[in-house]
A = this chain, B = another copy of it.
Amino acid sequence: MLKLRWNYVHSAIEVFFSSMKILDDRALIHVADYFRALAEPLRLKIINALRDGEHNVGELTELCACSQANVSKHLTLLAQIGLVTREARGTSVYYRIADPTIYRLCDLVCGQLAQHFSDQANLHAAPGKRSTKIKKLKK
């Protein structure tokens, strides 16, 4: 399974060396758009709910415990950016993850955050070594 994911890592690193270092402003906008799609808790919740496979809008509304219109709007955005695919069947519309890469992104962030909070906890646990440089996460 880990083997399976290797190609992704390899190609991603190649892309980085070939393009990331010379990213022009236009490309940065696309990358920022991609990250912005993941910068909303409800969208992450939807994405997380799609881990186990496709769901229709009603199911996702239930799973996310919010309004159906709101879920629909977020799904539209996710589809526009190519993160999910849309398939109408009967009166329902089923969405599924189009790009499993997002889970690797989320995993990396989770790992980093865990490390970050762990570091903070250690700093706070060590008297006299409290960090004054990094303020608390806003809000």
Chain A residues with a Cβ under 8 A of chain B: 2, 5, 8-13, 15-16, 19-21, 23, 25, 27-36, 38-41, 43-45, 48, 51, 79-82, 85-86, 99, 101, 103-114, 116, 133-138
Contacts and interface: CB of A to CB of B under 8 A. Distances in A.
Q: Which 5 residue pairs are nearest across A and B when measured between Cβ atoms?
A: A36-B39, A16-B107, A12-B111, A35-B38, A35-B39
A122 to B, nearest CB: 14
Question: Looking at chain A's contact residues, is the secondary structure mostly helix, strand, loop, or mixed?
Answer: helix
Contacts of A79: 133-135
Given A23-B110, A25-B41, A104-B108, 11 more contacts: A2-B9, A15-B111, A19-B110, A20-B107, A28-B44, A28-B45, A32-B44, A33-B39, A36-B36, A81-B137, A101-B112
